[in-house]
Structure 1
Amino acid sequence: MKLQGKVTLITGSGSGIGRSAALLFGREGAYVVVNDLDAAKGEATVAEIQAGGGRAVFIQADVTHPESVQQMTAHALEQCGRIDVLFNNAGISGVGVLHEIELEQWDRVMNVNIRGVFLPSKYVIPHMIEQKNGSIINMSSCIAEIGLANRASYAATKGAVLALTKSMQVDYAPYGIRVNALLPGTILTPFVENYLKNAYDDPEAALASIKGRQLSNDLGSPEDVAQAALFLASDDSKFMMGSPLYIDGGVVFGKNA
């Protein structure tokens, strides 16, 4: 029970990596605050945590809207009394080379992936300062460290999140708050599965090509990233501060011959 007695708020936890993290945190003793725009998916995550004997509550909120995030934070504190772990997981992908990206598309990726880290942090951190304790996990990506074709907007946001993580750590270390970042490689989430089906004439060939980018020759699973998030959320990582944690199958630091 690595998170026994801790309250964890996970944004975008109705599906994919966020859902896997919520289920794992629940099994590890946390009181899980599940957040998502999709109420049905969020409630389903809560139901599964509760079915396993864990504690959870769903709070619907849009992480790009200040009022919505303020209300979510207030509700979580009223319901649970404190927030020990904030996992800024909510995010969307962005596809396209820079000069072809529509302005609306660019702004949406920026809003969700950067503003969606800024706002929850902004409203949760004052309470962590009062507690003089807390762990914040920001979802970056291995794309923050490498070049990848057709991902200009997504890469820009994930690089920003990594830089923000380091700056936040310097500011909040005096209050006992740790801030670290997850840098996953390509993870086989429902989003990736749908993307392969809709964007390629031969999804199987596309999947094989993507697998070849990893030294592992395979994609990661949401559970792989959830385990890394658990490490950062727990006291097992108490000496990690402002650090990037790679879960990428060897994309960043290796290359197949």
Structure 2
Amino acid sequence: MNSLKNKVVLVTGGGRGLGAAICQALAKEGARVAVMDLHAETAQAQVAELQQSDCHAYAIRADVGDEAQVKAAISEVVKVFGRLDALVNNAGIDKTCSVDELECDEWDRIIRTNLSGPFMLAKYAARQMREQGGGQIINIASTAARRAWPNAAAYHASKWGLLGLSQALHAELRSERIKVSTVFAGGMRTPFLLDRFPDLDPGLLQDPANVADTVRYLLTLPEETVIAEVMVLPMRETSWP
């Protein structure tokens, strides 16, 4: 297995939930972590926590759906760390309502964050990785990319789209030694679910650290191997058979 020591990894939505768990898992392996989040104070708080364990971490406030901010964020990572070895597209949002109730600007915001954002980040990260001779991109999808339930049309569309984007990137970038993987994450005990569904039984969900450990594993595979897709489910998952 490859070592993550001193590898530079950019994690979007890294301030809390699964993103924070990923940052912590990578930091334990000696990675240098760029924590990107829409909220500066959230990213900075996560960086402060990582630095307590001597991790070289750096906070970046940026909106993944804004091309200028995405380009600036990639440039900032390279300026601070000198390179970019891996990108984890984790940032995501949702709106729980029917299609009839979903406003067009809300649809646009979800698609921009969950799908256009990963596209732009992968586009500009891959340019840097080409210059270095390789790299890795991990896209965090969901069981929502494999089946559908009511009141989540935009979220489903964005995650199914992210799966298609991931498969296209996997096919296109392999010859340039850039690995692309999709992680289908089942329900987790994170604010993304628990803040919106207070009646949800946490016992049905998994610790985000378990999904984060899968991301860590993907980043330590031998150079000659890539896992294109992996699904990580809690044992009592209700959103997947």
TM-score (norm 1): 0.87
- Where does structure 1 differ by over 6 angstroms across 4 or more consecutive aligned residues? none
Is the 2:188–2:207 Cα contact (8 Å) retained in structure 1? yes
* Alignment of 1:177 onto 2:178: yes
* Alignment of 1:87 onto 2:73: no
Which residue is 1:134 aligned to? 135
Which residue is 1:33 aligned to? 34
Deviation for aligned residue 1:248: 1.8
Is the 2:143–2:239 Cα contact (8 Å) retained in structure 1? no
| 1:241-252 pair list within 5 angstroms | 241=227, 243-249=228-234, 251=237
Q: Secondary structure at the residue paired with 1:99?
A: coil
Which residue is 2:214 aligned to? 228
Is the 1:7–1:84 Cα contact (8 Å) retained in structure 2? yes
Tell me the distance in 2 between the aligned counterparts of 1:220 and 1:235: 24
| 1:1-257 pair list within 5 angstroms | 2-197=3-198, 203=199, 207-208=200-201, 218-235=204-221, 239-241=225-227, 243-249=228-234, 251=237, 255=241
Q: Secondary structure at the residue paired with 1:98?
A: coil
Deviation for aligned residue 1:190: 1.6
Looking at CA atoms only, which structure, 1 or 2, has the larger radius of gyration?
1
Query: Aligned pair in 2 of structure 1 residues 238, 247: CA closer, same or farther (>3 Å)?
Result: farther
Give unmatched runs, 5+ long, in structure 2.
Answer: none
Deviation track 1:32-83 (CA, whole Å, cap 9, x = no partner) reads 0111111111111111111011111111111111111111111110110110
Root-mean-square deviation (Å): 1.9
Tell me the distance in 2 between the aligned counterparts of 1:173 and 1:38: 33
For 1:156, the aligned partner's letter is A
For 1:175, the aligned partner's letter is E
Q: Secondary structure at the residue paired with 2:127?
A: helix
Give unmatched runs, 5+ long, in structure 1.
Answer: 198-202, 212-216
Give the length in aligned residue pairs.
239
TM-score (norm 2): 0.93
Deviation for aligned residue 1:5: 2.1
Is the 1:38–1:60 Cα contact (8 Å) retained in structure 2? yes
